[in-house]
Amino acid sequence: MTVSSICTASADPPQVLVCVHLGGPTAAALRANKCFAVNILDRKHRHVADSFAGRIERWRSDRFACDTWTTIATGAPVLTDGLLVMDCELTQELVVSTHAVFVGTVVGLQSREGAPLLYSDQAYRTLENHGTIPSEDIQL
């Protein structure tokens, strides 16, 4: 699935939330399976992002055919070499206008070094480490 938004919902217990458009099949699949996985991609996974966004014709009927997948805890498919993978049990849902907000408790995790793949202003981007930004003292 491709989500409109993802963020941390809680640190204890570890939970994330994802926002999914109600017009597609993803919300119904999440409700039926009661789990989901979040796969944070890096630059070598652009084809995965394009596949799940429906932009690659040959993978439209089976989007998982675009790469190699495995499972961790819930049985939800996770990208074998994802930058960060969070395997989640569905714990809550809230419908807000055209989207459903799903909250999942993280029950499985894998990570590796790298920079995440971002999509902004109709282009893919990455966050490369070019040094740190110095802190400034703020007078209140």
What's residue 59's pLDDT?
Answer: 87
Name the residue ranges covered by the structural domains of the chain. 5-122
Spatial separation of the C-alpha atoms in residues 100 and 82, rounded to whole Å: 25
What's residue 136's pLDDT?
Answer: 59
What's residue 63's pLDDT?
Answer: 87
CATH fit for domain 5-122, picks 3.40.1160.10, 3.40.50.300, 2.40.50.180, 2.30.110.10: 2.30.110.10
- Tell the burial category of 93 from Cβ atoms under 10 Å away from its Cβ (0-12, 13-18, 19+): middle
What's residue 139's pLDDT?
Answer: 52
What's residue 75's pLDDT?
Answer: 95
Q: What's the predicted TM-score (pTM) here?
A: 0.83
- How far does the chain reach from its first CA to its final CA, in angstroms? 44
Spatial separation of the C-alpha atoms in residues 31 and 24, rounded to whole Å: 13
> Which residues neighbour 26 within 8 Å (Cβ) at sequence distance 6 or greater?
1, 20
Question: For the chain, which ranges sit under pLDDT 50?
Answer: 140
What's residue 4's pLDDT?
Answer: 60
